[in-house]
């Protein structure tokens, strides 16, 4: 049986100075292992009201970003080999 380690997310929403469409939000974050080292991972954002889904890859330092997101509730899901799936259900984007 494989060991599933937890991963952690550090999130920053609504990045200032990012070139994006008016009335949209962005999410920047970092995926970390228990030793606070970056993890390459797949990050999925689903807008809870519209169902629109976007996926991006966190790089080997764990950094990822989504831009031009509609305001409202978003669910984030992070998956990485050897780690348990992590979800954030209560992220609300505002502009």
Exposed/middle/buried for 74, CB within 10 Å: 0-12, 13-18, 19+?
buried
User: pLDDT tens-digit profile of 14-39?
Assistant: 444 445 567 888 888 899 888 889 99
- Average pLDDT score, the chain: 83
Q: What is the DSSP string of 70-91?
A: PSEEEEEEEE-TTB--EEEEEE
Judged by average pLDDT, the poorest of 3-17, 22-36, 73-87 is: 3-17
pTM of the model: 0.81
């Amino acid at each position: 049986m494989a060991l599933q380690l937890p991963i952690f997310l550090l999130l920053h929403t609504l990045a200032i100075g990012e070139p994006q469409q008016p009335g949209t939000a962005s999410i920047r974050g970092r995926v970390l292992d228990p030793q606070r080292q970056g993890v390459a991972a797949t990050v999925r954002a689903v807008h809870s009201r519209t169902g629109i889904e976007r996926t991006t890859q966190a790089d080997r330092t764990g950094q990822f970003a989504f831009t031009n997101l509609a305001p409202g509730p978003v669910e984030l899901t992070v998956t990485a080999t050897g780690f348990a799936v992590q979800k954030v259900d209560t992220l609300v984007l505002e502009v």
